[in-house]
Amino acid sequence: MKDQPAAAIVVPLPGTLDAFLAWRVGPDAPEAAWSGGPPLAAQGKADSDLMILVDTPERDDAAAGRLLDGPAGRLFDRMLAAIGRSRDDVYLASLCTVRPLAGRVAPEVEARLADIARHYVALVAPKRLLILGNATSRALLATDVTRARNGLHRINQPTDIRDSITDAVVSFHPRLLLERPAQKAEAWRDLQLLIGGSDL
């Protein structure tokens, strides 16, 4: 009889934001052994009404020590400015704290990172959540960007963490907007929905 592969042991996630953030960049996080550079912590105000979640750090982010630092970051800053916000008054986090070698989330870790992302959003409990990119949309809403756009999604936080509801809006990652500038008009509509300027 063949030996069966051992089931992965899933350790319960920390129940407070401070403990979670320490764990997220520590040696027990799923990405700890990845070779994409040091883990990048979230930036901004954890008590902001707006949390923004991207998929992975960009290629040059590790060297800069912050998420969205290069060309995609400059576009991201302009997107925030267009809705009267800046990095100083939002909370920016990433599905992965380390950039995967291939630059995208591998299917074998996607489910675990999705669990972690949902737990993270529940701990932060923002009023609004902007979800940027396909991997991030799949993690939180189990669907890709094209299907998830054009509407508010309600995320109910687990009552054992915090009893609240977060309204989420899905849009294109700035990286894709640089590749496909024609999508910028669609992204602007998403941002209007985020701030309540449109009732789609």
Element containing residue 28 per DSSP (H, E) = none
In a domain, 161, yes or no: yes
Angstrom CA distances, 23 to 28, 78, 146, stand at 7, 32, 33
pLDDT tens figures, 100-148 = 887 888 888 888 999 999 999 999 999 999 999 999 999 999 999 999 9
In a domain, 13, yes or no: no
In a domain, 55, yes or no: yes
For the chain, the domain total comes to 1
- The tens place of each residue's pLDDT in the chain, 200 residues long, gives 344 433 445 568 999 999 999 999 999 999 988 887 889 999 999 999 999 999 999 988 988 999 999 999 999 999 999 999 999 999 999 999 999 887 888 888 888 999 999 999 999 999 999 999 999 999 999 999 999 998 889 886 665 566 678 999 999 999 999 999 999 999 999 999 999 844 43
Range of the domain at 78: 37-194
Q: For residue 59, count CB atoms less than 10 angstroms from its CB and return exposed for 0-12, middle for 13-18, buried for 19 or more.
A: middle
In a domain, 75, yes or no: yes
Residues in the chain: 200
In a domain, 81, yes or no: yes
